[in-house]
């Protein structure tokens, strides 16, 4: 289990660094929702925050707001810390937040800030809060000790006042450990606070200046708490990566006291001898009751309640709980819901008494999380001990503090998933028995045609397909019932045409309803889908139709100005060895279809309309899940296209594996701009949507603006597409100011995502941008997930999916250790069956022990994340020194003048090869060899790795998936060199 970095430290470090003129380095990233809101607010105030590798680089100094309104999102911490600090800006600022923040009273804090001389206006003592640009004067303020964030907010501001300040805490003083953390971190940035012995009086000199700092974020004990609770309630053997096995007093975290408490309860936390990290290993343990003063660990009440209720026998006393009722919810009342599951909890005055029931039988229940992240996660852990299913409202609340919660819990064998419903009734489902929301093994055992029937029965009137090709206001929609009926009709037509089991049916269609209907109909009768890209012309089509031996071929009457029936007729008439077509069907035929010798021509609509489905005949053709289902020709970056054969169960398993890896659910809506005739659109668009039983939104002609409009109209939540699609969508959002409100995840494939684009896209789209690696032959092999560390999400090609094995080997087949570059190889149950008609190619593609040779060079780091460094064939071997092509391309992409870039080898008589860079330049920008060298020199890149030739191009040649066709660039530079030699 991977423990993320502390969000408490991240908040404070980012804010303090923003106040320190110069550059600060914060090692260790956090993408907790609260921290992302702080980053967003600071950036709107003009602070430049970069992500480099696994660290934040913050360029601090004067706040110069980019806009008058600065949102703190849904983060109370950001609100409390930043409200006073925006007075240091050079322009007025209005602090706003999510709608419910307009009911969050912070009157005591606002009154204290006014006393310090902050000029602000908030008629309701809630956001929005108008703050004028004026340094505070200082003074003596008194503040209730109710919430530590109020006190920390005053302490962060006071050093920048023109005079001294005193902050006195009155009344019950809670959460002092968080204030102590604020003071310790202020000291690291050169800011000093004098604290009285009882911790109630703080004296701060004015006119202090923060200085830049370099620091490392410690582990988040608040996140580790849920893993510790899970391992306490179940027999376990779990290593907590990131959590050092040191005395709890040495852990720099305001909630470190939790480690002492769970140790006192009897959880066996032992040092792992190999790593020095915490490991929990036991075959079942009964915990002991304890007494807890919740003022030291106020946020731990929910998880301690679960541990005490279902892991211990005897009565645990949680004392001083009154202020815990003032958190995101009344957490005391929220945890009384455990009684519905068989617990015995009672609230008495300022105490919560938890009478442990140990291993007694518990029952699942429908509970409310009150949109409180800690309540949601604690109740979810409780649900894993109950028989049956526990359902919790507001399932996404955990993302605000622990985005990887579901992934980490499922990774250690628990079962948590999301389920659909209305806005307030959507639930997290927790089960201690079933293996997950979409089990790859279970899904793969069902023919895809049966899944269409299942959804038609279970949700007949729900949307199945939305075709946006006709433009806004003319979208075509099919329900699941309508889809099932059309599939039956088309399947019956295919039987009438004599399509046999295992026979390929070819079709050259854009993204439209009929593509999906035809694919599902072919699968329903056990035939093989052979989709062909609409961009292919006569040469490619003649080869693929001949190689596939398809007898039935479906084309549109026209698309993007092309007359497909005329092209097919010309192909059949001119080719020396015409394909063995028996039937050609034309969609949207306007008038009679071609006739004459050769195949029979049909109007597709007429052929389908006359069918009366024979369900008995269709049922008799129901295929086994292991039947061949797809023949897909690689679009190729070099050489002859290869016909890749896949079984139905492999495709379904691959889709279900991605569903599980990303936490997709039945409330998602799949947007498909990638061609359905390519594996990205076919498998991770259409097939995935059918496996999930959710709508798929089809866009036939790519346009970033059209995509943005479609995503907004139909609330698309998931996209998998090539990197250029991502860049165009980001540009559309930036140009229009409209947002992709529902979009959660964009998986970028085909080529590495430049880190600058990934960070910009994450910020602009408000969605996770996940890197991935896959191939037609293997399906996805590696994929990052929204909750992974940002540096891993943006800077890698992901980690292995469940049931996928990855390795790096040298040229002799020896497996290399983490961190070493070599040949990237994949093994999984989603591998292709082989290349059509070429068993020798299949044998060459596989190692003797059955691993697929990808042809890529890669590094797998210690955490298991993949870094693709280039293609074996694309390596630049400069006098025996291999140039890290992908790394140099990433660097050059970050140059403001460079829009796109690719580096290839060019022949050299002395060194064998040198590097040539092809660059596409932004309009109006300039970029030459001298600037390229200056840029790489400034970044201290070894000169042996510098490209030694630069060619400016209008665009880079790419195949339909977005991969740069480097073989064409190598040919181009060879021609240039030959021409220069001739001169």
The domain that contains 165 carries what CATH number? 3.65.10.10
Whole-number pLDDT of residue 76:
84
**Residue 580 CB neighbours (<10 A):** 12
Task: Examine residue 128 and say whether the peptide bond preceding it is cis (omega within 30 degrees of 0).
Answer: yes
What crossing angle do the helices spanning 221-233 and 373-383 adopt, rounded to 10°? 20
Of 431, 461, 491, the position where a domain reaches its end is 431
| 114 and 240 share one domain | no
**Residue 415 CB neighbours (<10 A):** 19
Reduced 3-state DSSP string for 368-433: CCCCCHHHHHHHHHHHCCCECEEEEECCCHHHHCCCCHHHHHHHCCCEEEEECCCCCCCEEEEECC
| 278 and 418 share one domain | yes
Rounded mean pLDDT, 623-628 = 94
Least Cα distance to 557 among 522, 605, 516 occurs for 605
Whole-number pLDDT of residue 421:
40
883-900 burial, b if ≥16 CB within 10 A, otherwise e? bbbbbbbbbbbebebbbb
pLDDT, one tens digit per residue, over 293-333 is: 988 888 899 999 999 999 888 999 999 998 787 777 889 99
Least Cα distance to 506 among 532, 535, 524 occurs for 532
Rounded mean pLDDT, 558-587 = 89
| 178 and 308 share one domain | no
| 37 and 84 share one domain | yes
DSSP string, 313-333: EEEEEEES-GGGGGSSS-HHH
The annotated binding site for phosphoenolpyruvate is made up of: 7, 76, 104, 149, 331, 374
Rounded mean pLDDT, 889-897 = 89
| 307 and 198 share one domain | no
The annotated binding site for 3-phosphoshikimate is made up of: 7, 12, 148-149, 299, 327
Burial classification of residue 615, based on how many CB atoms lie within 10 Å of its CB (0-12 exposed, 13-18 middle, 19 or more buried): exposed
At residue 45's C-alpha, the angle toward residues 42 and 46, to 5°, is 95
Q: Does residue 465 fall inside a structural domain?
A: no
Whole-number pLDDT of residue 866:
93
Residues 6+ apart with CB under 8 A from 445: 625, 649
Q: What are the φ/ψ torsions at residue 341 (nearest 5 degrees)?
A: -95, -5
pLDDT, one tens digit per residue, over 17-72 is: 999 999 999 998 887 888 889 999 999 999 999 988 788 999 999 999 988 999 99
Q: What is the mean pLDDT of the chain?
A: 89
Residue 635 has pLDDT above 70, yes or no: no
Q: Does residue 931 fall inside a structural domain?
A: yes
Whole-number pLDDT of residue 442:
65
| 345 and 360 share one domain | yes
The SS3 call for residue 446 is coil
Residues 6+ apart with CB under 8 A from 274: none
At 966, which CATH number? 3.30.300.30
DSSP secondary-structure letter at 288?
Answer: P
Q: Which position has the higher pLDDT, 82 or 125?
A: 82
Beta strands across the sheet bearing 344-348 = 291-293, 313-319, 351-357, 344-348
What's the structural domain count of the chain? 3
Q: Does residue 381 fall inside a structural domain?
A: yes
Whole-number pLDDT of residue 431:
44
The SS3 call for residue 41 is helix
| 188 and 242 share one domain | no
User: 353 is written with which tokens?
Assistant: 């008494």
Q: Does residue 569 fall inside a structural domain?
A: no
Residue 240 has pLDDT above 70, yes or no: yes
| 131 and 275 share one domain | no
Q: Does residue 289 fall inside a structural domain?
A: yes
User: 354 is written with which tokens?
Assistant: 């938890």
Rounded mean pLDDT, 3-8 = 90
| 256 and 312 share one domain | yes
| 119 and 187 share one domain | yes
Rounded mean pLDDT, 719-738 = 92
Residue 678 near residue 635 (C-beta atoms within 8 A): yes
Residue 420 has pLDDT above 50, yes or no: no
**Residue 269 CB neighbours (<10 A):** 18
Of 200, 216, 232, the position where a domain reaches its end is 216
| 341 and 419 share one domain | yes
Query: pTM for the complete prediction?
Result: 0.56
CA distance 629 to 529: 6
Q: Which of 630-634, 728-732, 887-891 has the lowest mean pLDDT?
A: 887-891
What crossing angle do the helices spanning 76-85 and 33-44 adopt, rounded to 10°? 20
Residue 760 has pLDDT above 60, yes or no: yes
Q: Beta strands of 54-138 (E only): which ranges?
A: 55-60, 69-71, 93-96, 120-121, 129-131
DSSP secondary-structure letter at 2?
Answer: B
pLDDT, one tens digit per residue, over 443-452 is: 788 899 999 9
Burial classification of residue 422, based on how many CB atoms lie within 10 Å of its CB (0-12 exposed, 13-18 middle, 19 or more buried): exposed
Q: By residue range, what is the domain housing residue 180? A: 7-216
pLDDT, one tens digit per residue, over 347-363 is: 988 999 999 986 566 88
CA distance 462 to 944: 59
| 175 and 229 share one domain | no
Q: Which position has the higher pLDDT, 273 or 419?
A: 273
- Residues catalogued as catalytic: 299
Whole-number pLDDT of residue 430:
55
Q: Does residue 59 fall inside a structural domain?
A: yes
Of 216, 245, 278, the position where a domain reaches its end is 216
pLDDT, one tens digit per residue, over 636-690 is: 444 578 999 999 999 999 999 999 889 888 889 999 999 999 999 999 999 999 9
pLDDT, one tens digit per residue, over 585-599 is: 999 988 777 776 689
Residue 65 near residue 46 (C-beta atoms within 8 A): yes
- Within 13 Å, how many C-alpha atoms sit on residue 419's CB side? 16
Across 204-218, 241-255, 856-870, the highest mean pLDDT is recorded for 204-218
Distance of CA 624 to the CA centre of its chain: 34
Whole-number pLDDT of residue 86:
97
Q: Does residue 165 fall inside a structural domain?
A: yes
Beta strands across the sheet bearing 427-431 = 366-367, 389-393, 427-431, 415-419
Q: Does residue 436 fall inside a structural domain?
A: no
The SS3 call for residue 478 is strand
């Amino acid at each position: 289990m991977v423990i993320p970095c502390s969000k408490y430290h991240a908040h404070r470090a980012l804010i303090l660094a923003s106040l320190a003129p110069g550059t600060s380095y914060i090692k260790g990233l956090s993408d907790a929702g609260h921290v992302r809101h702080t980053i967003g607010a600071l950036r709107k105030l003009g602070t430049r925050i970069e992500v480099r590798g696994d660290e934040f680089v913050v360029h601090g100094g004067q706040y110069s707001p980019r806009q008058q309104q600065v949102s703190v999102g849904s983060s109370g911490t950001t609100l409390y810390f930043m409200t006073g600090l925006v007075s240091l800006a050079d322009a007025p600022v209005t602090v706003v937040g999510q709608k419910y923040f307009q009911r969050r009273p912070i009157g005591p804090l606002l009154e204290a800030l006014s006393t310090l001389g902050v000029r602000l206006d908030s008629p309701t003592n809630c956001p929005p809060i108008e703050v004028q640009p004026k340094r505070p004067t200082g003074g003596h303020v008194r503040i209730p000790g109710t919430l530590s964030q109020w006190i920390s907010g005053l302490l962060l501001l006071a050093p920048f006042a023109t005079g001294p300040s005193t902050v006195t805490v009155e009344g019950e003083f809670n959460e002092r450990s968080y204030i102590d953390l604020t003071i310790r971190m202020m000291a690291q940035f050169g800011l000093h606070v004098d604290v009285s012995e009882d911790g109630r009086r703080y004296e701060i000199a004015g006119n202090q200046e923060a200085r830049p700092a370099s620091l490392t974020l410690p582990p988040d004990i608040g996140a580790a708490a849920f893993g510790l609770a899970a391992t306490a309630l179940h027999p376990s053997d779990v290593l907590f990566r990131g959590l050092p096995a040191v005395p709890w007093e040495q852990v720099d975290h305001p909630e470190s006291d939790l480690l002492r408490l769970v140790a006192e309860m009897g959880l066996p936390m032992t040092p792992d001898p190999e790593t020095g990290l915490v490991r929990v290993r036991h075959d079942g343990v009964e915990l002991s009751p304890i007494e807890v003063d919740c003022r030291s660990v106020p946020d731990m009440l929910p998880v301690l309640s679960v541990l005490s209720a279902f892991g211990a026998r005897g009565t645990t006393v949680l004392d001083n709980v009154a202020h815990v009722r003032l958190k995101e919810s009344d957490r005391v009342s929220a945890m009384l819901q455990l009684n519905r599951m068989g617990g015995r909890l009672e609230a008495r005055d300022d105490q919560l008494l938890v009478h442990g029931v140990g291993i007694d039988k518990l029952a699942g229940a429908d509970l409310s999380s009150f949109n409180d992240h800690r309540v949601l996660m604690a109740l979810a852990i409780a649900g894993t001990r109950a028989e049956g299913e526990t359902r919790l409202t507001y399932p996404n609340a955990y993302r605000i503090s622990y985005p990887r919660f579901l992934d980490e819990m499922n990774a250690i064998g628990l079962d948590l998933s999301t389920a659909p419903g209305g806005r307030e009734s959507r639930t997290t489902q927790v089960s201690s028995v079933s293996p997950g929301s979409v089990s790859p093994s279970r899904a793969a055992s069902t023919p895809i045609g049966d899944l269409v029937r299942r959804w038609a029965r279970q949700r007949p009137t729900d949307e199945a397909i939305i075709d946006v090709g006709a433009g806004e206001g003319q979208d075509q929609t099919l329900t699941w019932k309508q889809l099932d009926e059309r599939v039956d009709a088309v399947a019956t037509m295919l039987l009438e045409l004599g399509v046999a089991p295992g026979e390929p049916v070819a079709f050259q269609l854009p993204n439209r309803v009929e593509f999906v209907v035809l694919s599902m109909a072919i699968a329903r009768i056990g035939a093989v889908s052979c989709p062909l890209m609409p961009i292919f012309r006569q040469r490619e089509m003649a080869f693929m139709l001949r190689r596939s031996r398809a007898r039935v071929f479906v084309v549109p009457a026209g698309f993007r100005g092309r007359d497909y029936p005329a092209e097919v007729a010309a192909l059949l008439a001119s080719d020396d060895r015409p394909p063995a077509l028996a039937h050609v069907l034309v969609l949207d035929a306007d008038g009679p279809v071609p006739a004459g010798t050769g195949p029979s021509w049909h109007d597709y609509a007429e052929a389908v309309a006359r069918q009366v489905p024979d369900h008995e005949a269709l049922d008799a053709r129901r295929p086994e899940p292991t039947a061949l289902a797809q023949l897909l020709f690689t679009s190729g970056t070099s050489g002859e296209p290869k016909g890749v054969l896949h079984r139905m169960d492999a495709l379904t398993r691959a889709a279900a594996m991605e569903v599980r890896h990303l936490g997709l659910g039945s409330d998602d809506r799949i947007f498909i701009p990638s061609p359905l005739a390519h594996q990205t659109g076919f498998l991770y668009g259409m097939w995935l949507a059918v496996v999930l039983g959710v709508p798929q939104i089809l866009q036939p002609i790519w346009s970033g603006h059209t995509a943005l409009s479609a995503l907004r109209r139909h609330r698309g939540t998931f996209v998998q597409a090539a990197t250029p699609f991502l860049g165009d969508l980001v540009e559309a959002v930036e140009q229009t100011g409209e947002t992709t409100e529902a979009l959660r995840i964009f998986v970028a494939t085909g080529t590495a995502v430049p880190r600058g684009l990934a960070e910009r896209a994450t910020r602009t789209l408000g969605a996770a941008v996940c890197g991935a690696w896959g191939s037609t032959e293997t399906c996805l092999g590696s994929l990052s997930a929204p909750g992974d560390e940002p540096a891993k999400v943006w800077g890698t090609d992901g980690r292995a999916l469940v049931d996928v094995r990855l390795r790096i080997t040298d040229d002799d087949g020896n497996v290399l250790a983490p961190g070493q570059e070599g040949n990237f190889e994949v093994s999984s149950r989603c591998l292709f069956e082989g290349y059509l008609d070429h068993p020798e190619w299949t044998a060459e593609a596989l190692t003797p022990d059955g691993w697929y040779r990808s042809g890529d060079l890669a590094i797998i780091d210690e955490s298991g994340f993949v870094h693709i460094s280039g293609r074996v064939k694309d390596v630049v071997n400069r006098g025996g020194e291999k140039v890290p092509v992908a790394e140099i391309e990433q660097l050059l992409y970050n140059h403001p003048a460079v829009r796109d870039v690719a580096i290839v080898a060019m022949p050299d008589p002395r060194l064998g090869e040198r590097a040539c860079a092809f660059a596409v330049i932004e309009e109006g920008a300039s970029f030459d060899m001298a600037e390229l060298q200056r840029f790489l020199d400034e970044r201290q890149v070894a000169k042996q790795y510098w490209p030694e030739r630069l060619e400016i191009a209008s665009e880079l040649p790419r195949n339909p998936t977005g991969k740069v066709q480097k073989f064409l660039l190598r040919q181009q530079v060879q021609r240039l060199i030959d021409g220069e030699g001739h001169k």
